Structure 1
Amino acid sequence: MIATVARVILAAFMLFAGAAHFFSRTTFYAQVPPWLPLNADFVVIASGVVELALGAALLLWTRRRVAVGWVLAAFFVAVFPGNISQFITHTDAFGLDTDTARGIRLLFQPVLVVWALWCTGAWSAWRRARARPSSARSDGGPA
Protein backbone atom coordinates (compact mmCIF):
# COMPACT_ATOMS: atom_id res chain seq x y z
CA MET A 1 0.00 0.00 0.00
CA ILE A 2 2.81 2.42 0.90
CA ALA A 3 4.60 1.66 -2.38
CA THR A 4 1.40 2.37 -4.31
CA VAL A 5 0.98 5.74 -2.61
CA ALA A 6 4.65 6.50 -3.26
CA ARG A 7 4.19 5.54 -6.94
CA VAL A 8 1.17 7.85 -7.27
CA ILE A 9 3.08 10.70 -5.62
CA LEU A 10 6.03 10.14 -7.95
CA ALA A 11 3.65 10.06 -10.92
CA ALA A 12 2.10 13.37 -9.83
CA PHE A 13 5.58 14.85 -9.46
CA MET A 14 6.52 13.67 -12.96
CA LEU A 15 3.29 15.00 -14.50
CA PHE A 16 3.74 18.37 -12.79
CA ALA A 17 7.40 18.61 -13.79
CA GLY A 18 6.64 17.52 -17.34
CA ALA A 19 3.93 20.15 -17.73
CA ALA A 20 6.20 22.79 -16.20
CA HIS A 21 8.62 22.27 -19.10
CA PHE A 22 6.05 23.89 -21.37
CA PHE A 23 5.07 26.78 -19.09
CA SER A 24 8.51 27.69 -17.75
CA ARG A 25 10.64 26.59 -20.67
CA THR A 26 13.40 29.14 -20.28
CA THR A 27 13.86 28.22 -16.61
CA PHE A 28 14.65 24.66 -17.65
CA TYR A 29 17.46 25.88 -19.92
CA ALA A 30 19.58 26.03 -16.73
CA GLN A 31 19.72 22.24 -16.78
CA VAL A 32 20.76 21.83 -20.40
CA PRO A 33 24.54 21.41 -20.40
CA PRO A 34 26.29 23.89 -22.70
CA TRP A 35 28.31 21.03 -24.24
CA LEU A 36 25.18 19.19 -25.37
CA PRO A 37 25.07 19.42 -29.18
CA LEU A 38 21.28 19.86 -29.26
CA ASN A 39 19.05 22.90 -29.24
CA ALA A 40 18.17 23.73 -25.62
CA ASP A 41 14.52 24.36 -26.47
CA PHE A 42 14.28 20.93 -28.10
CA VAL A 43 15.88 19.26 -25.06
CA VAL A 44 13.48 21.00 -22.66
CA ILE A 45 10.41 20.12 -24.72
CA ALA A 46 11.52 16.53 -25.36
CA SER A 47 12.34 15.92 -21.70
CA GLY A 48 8.97 17.41 -20.74
CA VAL A 49 7.20 14.99 -23.07
CA VAL A 50 9.20 12.09 -21.61
CA GLU A 51 8.34 13.17 -18.06
CA LEU A 52 4.64 13.38 -18.95
CA ALA A 53 4.77 9.93 -20.55
CA LEU A 54 6.57 8.42 -17.57
CA GLY A 55 4.16 10.03 -15.10
CA ALA A 56 1.20 8.66 -17.04
CA ALA A 57 2.84 5.24 -17.32
CA LEU A 58 3.35 5.12 -13.55
CA LEU A 59 -0.39 5.62 -13.10
CA LEU A 60 -1.85 3.70 -16.01
CA TRP A 61 0.54 0.95 -17.06
CA THR A 62 0.39 -1.07 -13.87
CA ARG A 63 1.02 -4.40 -15.59
CA ARG A 64 4.37 -3.07 -16.77
CA ARG A 65 5.23 -1.07 -13.66
CA VAL A 66 8.52 -2.94 -13.13
CA ALA A 67 9.68 -1.99 -16.63
CA VAL A 68 8.42 1.56 -16.12
CA GLY A 69 10.45 1.69 -12.90
CA TRP A 70 13.64 0.74 -14.70
CA VAL A 71 12.99 3.26 -17.49
CA LEU A 72 12.23 6.01 -14.99
CA ALA A 73 15.38 5.22 -12.99
CA ALA A 74 17.39 5.34 -16.23
CA PHE A 75 15.78 8.68 -17.07
CA PHE A 76 16.81 10.08 -13.68
CA VAL A 77 20.36 8.93 -14.36
CA ALA A 78 20.28 10.38 -17.90
CA VAL A 79 19.26 13.86 -16.73
CA PHE A 80 21.81 13.93 -13.89
CA PRO A 81 24.51 15.55 -16.08
CA GLY A 82 22.12 18.50 -16.48
CA ASN A 83 21.94 18.88 -12.71
CA ILE A 84 25.73 18.65 -12.49
CA SER A 85 26.03 21.25 -15.25
CA GLN A 86 23.74 23.63 -13.36
CA PHE A 87 25.98 23.21 -10.30
CA ILE A 88 29.27 23.63 -12.20
CA THR A 89 28.08 26.65 -14.21
CA HIS A 90 26.55 28.27 -11.10
CA THR A 91 23.28 28.80 -12.96
CA ASP A 92 20.37 29.97 -10.83
CA ALA A 93 16.99 28.34 -11.50
CA PHE A 94 14.17 26.70 -9.57
CA GLY A 95 15.09 28.66 -6.45
CA LEU A 96 18.55 27.11 -6.48
CA ASP A 97 20.51 30.33 -6.20
CA THR A 98 23.55 29.13 -4.24
CA ASP A 99 26.12 26.43 -4.79
CA THR A 100 25.02 24.85 -1.52
CA ALA A 101 21.42 24.60 -2.70
CA ARG A 102 22.49 23.22 -6.08
CA GLY A 103 24.83 20.76 -4.33
CA ILE A 104 22.11 19.53 -2.00
CA ARG A 105 19.88 18.97 -4.99
CA LEU A 106 22.54 16.71 -6.52
CA LEU A 107 22.26 14.49 -3.45
CA PHE A 108 18.56 13.94 -4.10
CA GLN A 109 18.97 12.49 -7.60
CA PRO A 110 20.00 9.05 -6.25
CA VAL A 111 16.95 9.23 -3.97
CA LEU A 112 14.75 9.61 -7.05
CA VAL A 113 16.42 6.59 -8.67
CA VAL A 114 15.83 4.46 -5.57
CA TRP A 115 12.27 5.78 -5.21
CA ALA A 116 11.46 4.79 -8.81
CA LEU A 117 12.91 1.31 -8.38
CA TRP A 118 11.26 0.73 -5.01
CA CYS A 119 7.73 2.02 -5.63
CA THR A 120 7.38 0.12 -8.92
CA GLY A 121 8.69 -3.15 -7.52
CA ALA A 122 11.61 -3.10 -9.96
CA TRP A 123 14.20 -3.52 -7.23
CA SER A 124 12.41 -6.48 -5.60
CA ALA A 125 11.79 -8.10 -8.98
CA TRP A 126 15.52 -7.86 -9.73
CA ARG A 127 16.40 -9.31 -6.31
CA ARG A 128 13.95 -12.19 -6.78
CA ALA A 129 15.41 -12.94 -10.21
CA ARG A 130 18.94 -12.91 -8.80
CA ALA A 131 17.93 -15.25 -5.96
CA ARG A 132 16.53 -17.95 -8.27
CA PRO A 133 18.89 -20.83 -8.98
CA SER A 134 20.31 -20.70 -12.48
CA SER A 135 18.44 -23.90 -13.44
CA ALA A 136 15.12 -22.21 -12.63
CA ARG A 137 15.81 -19.17 -14.80
CA SER A 138 13.74 -18.87 -17.90
CA ASP A 139 16.68 -17.75 -20.01
CA GLY A 140 18.97 -20.51 -18.80
CA GLY A 141 21.76 -17.95 -18.48
CA PRO A 142 24.35 -17.70 -15.75
CA ALA A 143 23.35 -16.40 -12.33
Structure 2
Amino acid sequence: MLPPNTQTTTSQTLARLALGLIMLSAGISHLTFLREAFHAQVPDWVPFSKDLVVILSGVVEIALGAAMLALPRLKVWTGIILALFFVAIFPGNLSQYLNGIDSFGLDTDQKRLARLFFQPVLVFWALWSTGAWKELWTKKR
Protein backbone atom coordinates (compact mmCIF):
# COMPACT_ATOMS: atom_id res chain seq x y z
CA MET A 1 0.00 0.00 0.00
CA LEU A 2 1.27 3.47 -0.85
CA PRO A 3 1.68 5.90 2.02
CA PRO A 4 -0.73 8.83 1.97
CA ASN A 5 1.75 11.35 3.37
CA THR A 6 4.71 11.21 1.02
CA GLN A 7 6.96 14.22 1.50
CA THR A 8 7.28 16.48 -1.51
CA THR A 9 9.41 19.52 -2.20
CA THR A 10 8.11 23.05 -2.47
CA SER A 11 8.49 22.80 -6.26
CA GLN A 12 6.41 19.64 -6.33
CA THR A 13 3.75 21.20 -4.12
CA LEU A 14 3.53 24.27 -6.34
CA ALA A 15 3.34 22.04 -9.43
CA ARG A 16 0.58 19.97 -7.79
CA LEU A 17 -1.42 23.07 -6.92
CA ALA A 18 -0.96 24.48 -10.43
CA LEU A 19 -2.12 21.22 -11.99
CA GLY A 20 -5.08 21.18 -9.61
CA LEU A 21 -6.11 24.66 -10.75
CA ILE A 22 -5.66 23.68 -14.40
CA MET A 23 -7.87 20.61 -13.88
CA LEU A 24 -10.55 22.65 -12.12
CA SER A 25 -10.52 25.17 -14.95
CA ALA A 26 -10.63 22.45 -17.61
CA GLY A 27 -13.50 20.71 -15.84
CA ILE A 28 -15.52 23.90 -15.53
CA SER A 29 -14.91 24.67 -19.21
CA HIS A 30 -16.18 21.17 -20.09
CA LEU A 31 -19.47 22.02 -18.43
CA THR A 32 -19.80 25.58 -19.69
CA PHE A 33 -18.20 27.72 -22.39
CA LEU A 34 -16.06 25.05 -24.16
CA ARG A 35 -18.53 22.20 -23.94
CA GLU A 36 -19.14 22.04 -27.69
CA ALA A 37 -15.42 22.34 -28.51
CA PHE A 38 -14.65 19.30 -26.35
CA HIS A 39 -16.96 17.20 -28.53
CA ALA A 40 -14.10 17.18 -31.08
CA GLN A 41 -12.07 14.99 -28.77
CA VAL A 42 -14.69 12.29 -28.26
CA PRO A 43 -14.06 9.49 -30.76
CA ASP A 44 -17.04 8.39 -32.84
CA TRP A 45 -16.63 4.80 -31.59
CA VAL A 46 -17.45 5.77 -27.99
CA PRO A 47 -20.88 4.19 -27.31
CA PHE A 48 -22.28 7.22 -25.48
CA SER A 49 -23.34 10.66 -26.63
CA LYS A 50 -20.46 13.07 -27.05
CA ASP A 51 -22.17 15.53 -24.74
CA LEU A 52 -22.48 12.93 -21.96
CA VAL A 53 -18.79 12.04 -22.28
CA VAL A 54 -17.81 15.72 -22.14
CA ILE A 55 -19.99 16.31 -19.07
CA LEU A 56 -18.74 13.23 -17.24
CA SER A 57 -15.10 13.97 -18.01
CA GLY A 58 -15.65 17.53 -16.81
CA VAL A 59 -17.03 16.28 -13.51
CA VAL A 60 -14.05 13.93 -13.13
CA GLU A 61 -11.64 16.78 -13.90
CA ILE A 62 -13.28 19.01 -11.29
CA ALA A 63 -13.12 16.23 -8.70
CA LEU A 64 -9.47 15.46 -9.45
CA GLY A 65 -8.54 19.15 -9.51
CA ALA A 66 -10.24 19.70 -6.17
CA ALA A 67 -8.47 16.65 -4.72
CA MET A 68 -5.10 17.94 -5.93
CA LEU A 69 -5.80 21.21 -4.11
CA ALA A 70 -7.64 20.13 -1.00
CA LEU A 71 -6.53 16.59 -0.14
CA PRO A 72 -2.75 16.67 0.29
CA ARG A 73 -2.84 13.60 2.53
CA LEU A 74 -4.15 11.63 -0.45
CA LYS A 75 -1.87 13.26 -3.02
CA VAL A 76 -0.12 10.03 -4.05
CA TRP A 77 -3.40 8.31 -4.81
CA THR A 78 -4.76 11.42 -6.51
CA GLY A 79 -1.65 11.65 -8.67
CA ILE A 80 -1.98 8.03 -9.73
CA ILE A 81 -5.67 8.40 -10.55
CA LEU A 82 -5.04 11.62 -12.46
CA ALA A 83 -2.22 9.99 -14.44
CA LEU A 84 -4.56 7.10 -15.32
CA PHE A 85 -7.20 9.63 -16.37
CA PHE A 86 -4.71 11.28 -18.72
CA VAL A 87 -3.96 7.86 -20.21
CA ALA A 88 -7.69 7.11 -20.52
CA ILE A 89 -8.43 10.29 -22.49
CA PHE A 90 -5.47 9.84 -24.84
CA PRO A 91 -7.58 8.00 -27.45
CA GLY A 92 -9.65 11.18 -27.81
CA ASN A 93 -6.53 13.19 -28.61
CA LEU A 94 -5.36 10.50 -31.00
CA SER A 95 -8.77 10.46 -32.70
CA GLN A 96 -8.67 14.22 -33.12
CA TYR A 97 -5.28 13.87 -34.84
CA LEU A 98 -6.17 10.88 -37.02
CA ASN A 99 -9.45 12.41 -38.15
CA GLY A 100 -8.06 15.92 -38.66
CA ILE A 101 -10.64 17.57 -36.40
CA ASP A 102 -10.03 21.25 -35.71
CA SER A 103 -10.67 22.44 -32.16
CA PHE A 104 -8.86 24.48 -29.50
CA GLY A 105 -6.63 26.09 -32.09
CA LEU A 106 -5.40 22.69 -33.19
CA ASP A 107 -6.08 23.42 -36.84
CA THR A 108 -3.17 21.63 -38.51
CA ASP A 109 -1.92 18.07 -38.42
CA GLN A 110 1.37 19.34 -36.99
CA LYS A 111 -0.36 21.04 -34.05
CA ARG A 112 -2.55 18.00 -33.37
CA LEU A 113 0.50 15.72 -33.54
CA ALA A 114 2.49 17.96 -31.19
CA ARG A 115 -0.35 17.78 -28.69
CA LEU A 116 -0.05 14.01 -28.56
CA PHE A 117 3.47 14.38 -27.19
CA PHE A 118 2.21 16.63 -24.40
CA GLN A 119 0.07 13.85 -22.90
CA PRO A 120 3.07 11.97 -21.40
CA VAL A 121 4.17 15.27 -19.88
CA LEU A 122 0.81 15.52 -18.11
CA VAL A 123 1.11 11.94 -16.86
CA PHE A 124 4.59 12.66 -15.49
CA TRP A 125 3.44 15.99 -14.01
CA ALA A 126 0.64 14.25 -12.09
CA LEU A 127 2.96 11.54 -10.79
CA TRP A 128 5.96 13.73 -9.99
CA SER A 129 4.10 16.62 -8.35
CA THR A 130 2.30 14.31 -5.93
CA GLY A 131 5.28 12.15 -5.01
CA ALA A 132 3.65 9.16 -6.69
CA TRP A 133 6.56 8.80 -9.12
CA LYS A 134 8.94 8.26 -6.21
CA GLU A 135 6.57 5.86 -4.49
CA LEU A 136 5.94 3.82 -7.63
CA TRP A 137 9.37 3.68 -9.22
CA THR A 138 12.24 4.66 -6.95
CA LYS A 139 11.38 3.64 -3.43
CA LYS A 140 12.67 0.22 -2.47
CA ARG A 141 10.11 -1.98 -0.80
- TM-score over 0.5 (shorter chain): yes
Structure showing greater radius of gyration is 1
1:116 equivalent in structure 2: 126
2:97 equivalent in structure 1: 87
CA distance in structure 1 between the aligned counterparts of 2:108 and 2:52, rounded to whole angstroms = 27
2:53 equivalent in structure 1: 43
Compute the RMSD of aligned alpha carbons: 0.8
Q: Quote the offset at 1:46 in angstroms.
A: 0.1
Per-residue CA deviation, residues 60-91 of structure 1 (Å, 9 max, x unaligned), is 11111000000000000000000000001100
With structure 2 as the length reference, what TM-score do the two structures score?
A: 0.91
Q: Which has the higher contact order (CA 8 A, sep 6+)?
A: 2
Following TM superposition, the consecutive aligned residue runs of length 4 or more in structure 1 with deviations greater than 3 angstroms are none
1:141 equivalent in structure 2: none
In percent, how many aligned pairs have the same letter?
Answer: 55
1:58 equivalent in structure 2: 68
Structure 1 segments unaligned to the other structure (5+ residues): 133-143
Pick from 110, 113, 117: which aligns with 1:103? 113
CA distance in structure 1 between the aligned counterparts of 2:90 and 2:83, rounded to whole angstroms = 11
1:6 equivalent in structure 2: 15
With structure 1 as the length reference, what TM-score do the two structures score?
A: 0.89
Per-residue CA deviation, residues 89-140 of structure 1 (Å, 9 max, x unaligned), is 10000000000000000000000000000000001112354x12xxxxxxxx
Structure 2 segments unaligned to the other structure (5+ residues): 1-9
Aligned residues: 131
